[in-house]
Amino acid sequence: METDSLILIKGASYSNVKEELHQWTTLYIDDLGTDIVFNLYSSGKENHIIKVDERIDNDHFFYLVNYLGFSDNTRYKVNVEGFITASKYKQFINKKLMVYINDKDTEGDNVFAVTEDNETFKVDFGGKIKKIKTTKTYRHLHISDINLLSDPEIIKPDKKKIDKYKQEKSVNLLKKRFKIILLTVLILFVISIPLSFINKANFTFALCAFGVGFGAWFFLDYEMLRINKYYGYCFLIAFSFFIYCLLLQYIVKLQFINDINGFDILASIPISLLITQKPLRFCFKKIIGREPTTDRDARKLTADGVYSMLWILSTILCIYVLHTMTIGDDKNTIIYDKHHREYHFPAGSNSTIRDSTQIYIPDMPQALQDFTPHRLLREDELINRDSML
| Nearest one of 31, 97, 29, 104 to 65, comparing CA atoms | 97
pLDDT in the model for residue 383: 42
Cβ-contact 12, 45 below 8 angstroms: no
Model confidence pLDDT, tens digit, residues 208-225: 899 999 999 999 898 899
pLDDT, average across residues 34-40:
88
Contact 263, 207 (CB under 8 A): yes
Of 30-39, 142-151, 273-282, 303-312, the one with minimum mean pLDDT is 142-151
More confident residue, 163 or 112: 112
| Residues 112/120, Cβ–Cβ less than 8 Å | yes
H or E segment at 17? helix 14-27
Nearest to 329 by CA among 282, 379, 376: 379
| pLDDT-wise least confident of 12-16, 59-63, 133-137, 336-340 | 336-340
Q: What is the pLDDT of residue 316?
A: 93
Helix axes 159-196, 14-27, angle to 10 degrees: 50
Residue 199's pLDDT is: 75
Instruction: Taking residues 119-148, report their average pLDDT.
Output: 79
- Res. 339 pLDDT band, cuts 50 70 90: low
CB contact at 8 A, 224 and 234: yes
CB neighbours (10 Å) of residue 383? 9
Class of residue 289 by CB neighbours under 10 A (exposed 0-12, middle 13-18, buried 19+): exposed
CA distances from 44 to 8, 39, 149 (A): 12, 16, 9
Q: Poorest-confidence range of 85-89, 118-122, 165-169?
A: 165-169
DSSP tag of 329: T
Q: CA 254, CA 230: separation in Å to the nearest integer?
A: 34
Taking the C-alpha atoms of residue 47 and residue 161, their distance in angstroms, rounded to an integer, is 26
Mean confidence (pLDDT) of the chain: 78
- Percent of the chain with pLDDT strictly greater than 70: 74
Spatial CA neighbour of 99 closest among 80, 117, 116:
80
Rounded to whole angstroms, the Cα distance separating 41 from 19 reads 14
Which among 131, 120, 4, 118 is positioned nearest to 58, based on CA atoms?
4
Please tell me the distance from the alpha carbon of residue 122 to that of residue 15, in angstroms, as a whole number: 30
> Would you say residue 365 has pLDDT above 60?
no
Picking from 105-119, 272-286, 298-312, which range would have the lowest pLDDT averaged per residue? Answer: 298-312
Least reliable range by pLDDT among 139-143, 289-293, 335-339? 335-339
Per the model's pLDDT, the better-predicted residue between 247 and 124 turns out to be 124
Which among 33, 51, 34 is positioned nearest to 42, based on CA atoms? Answer: 51
| 158 vs 37: CA distance, rounded Å | 11
The region that residue 262 occupies, defined by phi over 0 for left and psi between -120 and 50 for alpha, beta otherwise, is left
- Mean pLDDT along residues 339-362: 45
Q: Is 255 helix (H, G, I), strand (E, B) or coil?
A: helix
Predicted confidence (pLDDT) per residue in 281-324, tens digit: 999 999 998 888 886 554 556 888 889 999 999 999 998 888 77
Residue range 104-133: average pLDDT?
86
